[in-house]
Structure formats: structure tokens, C-alpha cells
Amino acid sequence: MRERFFTPRLRVKSLEELNVWLLDKCVAYAKAHNHPEHADQTIWHIFEAERGNLVPYVGSFDGFHCVLASVSKTCMVRFDNNKYSALSTAVGRPVEVHAYADRIVVKQDGTVIAEHRRSFGRGETVYDPCHYVPVLARKPGALRNGAPFRDWVMPAAMEKVRKRLKTVDDGERQMVTILGCVPGDGITAVEAACQEALDQGVCSAAVILSILARRRDPAPAAPLQIPAVTRPTKRFVPVKSNRVC
């Protein structure tokens, strides 16, 4: 079957394209060839008859190759002649590299600390700028000159804020402060806060951090509805006593 389907060698753009093509080939073969044990029926007919007895398929197969590695001082993990970035908080501790067919997942103590599209070249370095955000607090200039940030294309609103802050004296440090919220709040929330600040016509770290804090806090509790006190229908008159204590 492998020789029938993959000779000559195929060229496809993605695994998804390959799987679609392979499924069509398998179905066509099953419909055109007789079953080896039931010569009067095709493979497809037998499969359809057995389909109702098959165990339901739940989820995708988590197939990966696992190797142990360590995170270097530059927040890099090496796998298969390439280097991938990881969270700066993971430096110096062992990690597990789960190599899938299309991606690389790095875990430390069971927690995902990095995920990248797998590279099949040699000597390549794959960055995720978000992994280096905590480093910016100590080295703000890295946002301008650091290799992980050199080709970083931020979401539209964040990029607009970055360009406007370039005209301010401490704009670089303000942008680093805004990016410092990404690990905790997520880049989607930071992007939304930047867009809200732009809509209000203001652009500063203080305003964006205030918007994030407001969205982070839960909504105020609904006012307590106190029922009206029912007044007595008769007036209470105290009875005087002549008793002397």
C-alpha cells in the first residue's frame, strides 16, 4: 500500500493536505478491491457493515517524541539541531521537549512553558518575544536592539501605542511596563486595553494599566434590596403600674 500510494514521492504543502489526499486514496482503494476473506464483497462494504461495532473515537492521538533538555541562560532549548525559546523563569531547570510532527511543546513540572511551530532546518533559532518580557524590566533597551524583539510584529493596537510612545522621553520604559502585563493578563487583554486607550485619545502606561486593573477586578455587587418595614396598624400604649419597687 505504501509503494502504491507514495511512489513516486509526493510533494504537499502541509500535513492537512497530505491527510486529505491519503483519505481519498484509501477510500477509493477500498471501494475498488475485494475483501481478502469475502471475495464477493469489496473492502468498503465489509467496513460499512462493521462500522456500527467500532469503538467510538474520542479526541486526537497525542503522539510525540519526548526528550529531556535544559534551558540555557539565554532562555533557549535545543532540539534536533535547532533552538527554541522558553520562559525566562525556566532558566537552569530541566524540561521535557515534546516533539510533534508539526510543533514543539516544552513542559516543566507538567506545565507548558513554550510552544513553537517545528523547524526542520539546521542551526535555526525560533523566538517567542513574550518569553523575554520579564527580562525587559531589567534591560529596557533590549526592546529596541534585542534579537527576540527585532522582528516582533505586535497586534495592531499595541503597535500603534508603541509608535506613539517613541516620541515620549520615557516612552520605551512605558512600553516595557505595558508589556509586563502580558504574562499575567494575556496579550489579548493587553491589546484590548491599548485599543480602549487609543479610542479615548490617550496613550500612556498609567492609563492602560488602569484599564487592565478595572477589567481585572470583578463587577461591583448588586445593591441589596431591603424590604420596607411593615408598620403596626395599632398604636402601642404602655400601661402604667402603681407597683413600688
Given a cut of 70, is residue 229 above it in pLDDT? no
Average pLDDT of the chain to the nearest whole number: 87
pLDDT at 64: 93
pLDDT cut 70: percent of the chain above it: 89
Q: 117 pairs with which residues across the strands?
A: 103
Instruction: Please give the residue that has the higher pLDDT: either 19 or 137.
Output: 19
pLDDT at 134: 83
What is the residue whose three cell numbers read 473515537?
Answer: 57
Radius of gyration of the CA atoms of the chain, in A: 32
Given a cut of 70, is residue 233 above it in pLDDT? no
**Residues 6+ away with beta carbon under 8 Å from 83:** 76, 77, 124, 125, 126
Contact 85, 132 (CB under 8 A): yes
CA–CA distance, 61 with 165 (Å, rounded to integer): 47
pLDDT band at 142 (very low <50, low <70, confident <90, very high): confident
CA–CA distance, 66 with 98 (Å, rounded to integer): 5
Q: 104 pairs with which residues across the strands?
A: 99, 116
pLDDT tens, residue by residue, 42-79: 999 999 999 999 998 888 788 899 999 999 999 999 99
Q: Which of 48-62, 111-125, 231-245 has the lowest mean pLDDT?
A: 231-245
Each domain of the chain, given as residue ranges in start order, spans 13-51, 65-126, 133-216
pLDDT tens, residue by residue, 148-191: 888 888 889 999 998 999 888 888 889 989 998 888 888 899 99
Given a cut of 90, is residue 193 above it in pLDDT? yes
